[in-house]
Chains A and B, each alone.
Chain A
């Protein structure tokens, strides 16, 4: 497998942000918390995804050599 978990987290960031955005609007429309109250969730999710990118192992550099 050529992809690292870090790259996966980075690629998933957009779709997860989009689904979160839709979820917040759905909550707003359903009569729960309004989007004006819940928008910081987007920042938190973005932060978590960046954290995951940084924390998960990156792909080993090609031709690193050595034992």
Chain B
């Protein structure tokens, strides 16, 4: 700041005034005011500097080479970035009141709501197509022969007239054509700056499928026997009681939840939480979901492929949960194949063969009851623990290059080899059970009473779930005695 400049005192006065106003009237948001009026600060700043220079000129004193110093430009650019960040947040944030509302962020213009209403005959139509760039769509079924749509468009603008002009550019259409009913909000005809969104409530006949395309907004579909296809840049998807196949392709998502689906489920893209429950068809997921992933009661083969983990199994009467750093499952029917970079893996009550390959992570297996199936477990860095029912026949070979070995199971012997050791069956009969860790302990023990059933730390039913518990849903936690191998 220049010596004698009025800009710095001006900024102090404005800041003090804002905080004073906020203290005297708590409903006034300082953040909101700053985020709304920051461009004015640049204008007043420039005007004050210009006034100072004119004053200097008129007084005949020497003028500065540059009216705005480098430091001042730096501050101005810094301020602009903060302001632009706030504007950017507002543009890409959903505009529905209460959903992502942050204090002060709602004041970028005012929301103006306009009701939407439309219907079209569904006779002969097999599919509902929703084209709604921004906004939520809720689809329910009923004993109707037409598609009924109600809802509202929200336009953010500084005045009603501006909002109305924007709204008038977007004719709302519900059209029956060529075996499908098209619901279109035509938001792309508006300025496209993300200040427009439409919430839709749609009622369709029970046999109708749904295809939805959007950029931002949630889809909630219940009770149709048709196929579902959802394509969006960013969407939460909730499906219930779906009779057909489900295809979901999202670039981002906070949650995908499908419950009671009769057909196949195919999911692609990225997201946070994923929950599938009571799925009768095959499940294919080629996607990266970084939050909690919960599968319960999948009746057909399932495959999950992400950049970090590949998982496949034949059926899942129980549950499988993937969270950050761990994979826990119970009552899984194999062949089970799991490869992962970093995950602790714990499986119980599974049947059929198991192949596990992890770079870093502990593996704990509790097959539950005899017979034991072919098992192949490899981890580069982690403990392996196998808790077997008594009298299991197997041809066990377990090796660790660096770590302790521990046996609490009849018919096994252990050898110490350098820093590691091996565990082997004394009589080799039964399927091959191979376990290998480069660095980590090995434990083979008899399964105790507390090992029966699900894992003690099986997840609680998800908070979002309001459906009845699946037949194989985990029971509440029960106490257990942790058994840990001493590692070198």
Contacts and interface: CB of A to CB of B under 8 A. Distances in A.
The yes or no verdict on A and B being binding partners is yes
Interface in B66-122: 66-68, 72-73, 76, 80, 83-84, 87, 108-109
7 contacts: A8-B63, A14-B46, A18-B76, A22-B43, A25-B83, A26-B40, A34-B193
Contacts, number: 109
B39 A2 contact: no
B46 to A, nearest CB: 3
Interface in A32-50: 34
B256 to A, nearest CB: 33
B468 interface: no
Given A2-B62, A26-B39, 4 more contacts: A11-B67, A14-B46, A23-B39, A31-B191
B64 interface: yes
B45 A11 contact: no
Interface of A: 1-3, 7-8, 10-26, 28-31, 34
Which range contains the number of B residues in contact with the other chain? 35 or more
B42 A15 contact: no
B63 A7 contact: yes
Given A15-B50, A19-B50, A31-B157, A25 B66 contact: no
A3 B62 contact: yes
Nearest to B155: A31
Interface of B: 36, 38-50, 53-54, 56-57, 60, 62-68, 72-73, 76, 80, 83-84, 87, 108-109, 156-158, 162, 191, 193, 195
Instruction: Sort A-B residue pairs by CB-CB distance and give the 4 closest, nearest first.
Output: A22-B42, A19-B46, A14-B68, A18-B46
Given A8-B63, A13-B67, A3 B57 contact: yes
A50 to B, nearest CB: 13
A26 B87 CA distance: 11
Nearest to A18: B46
Nearest to A25: B39
A15 B83 contact: no
Contacts of B57: 1, 3, 8, 11
A38 B266 CA distance: 44
Given A22-B41, A29-B87, A31-B109, A11 B76 contact: no
Contacts of A29: 36, 39, 87, 108
Given A11-B65, A31-B109, A22 B39 contact: yes
Interface core residue of B41, B67, B162, B195 (most chain A CB under 10 Å): B67
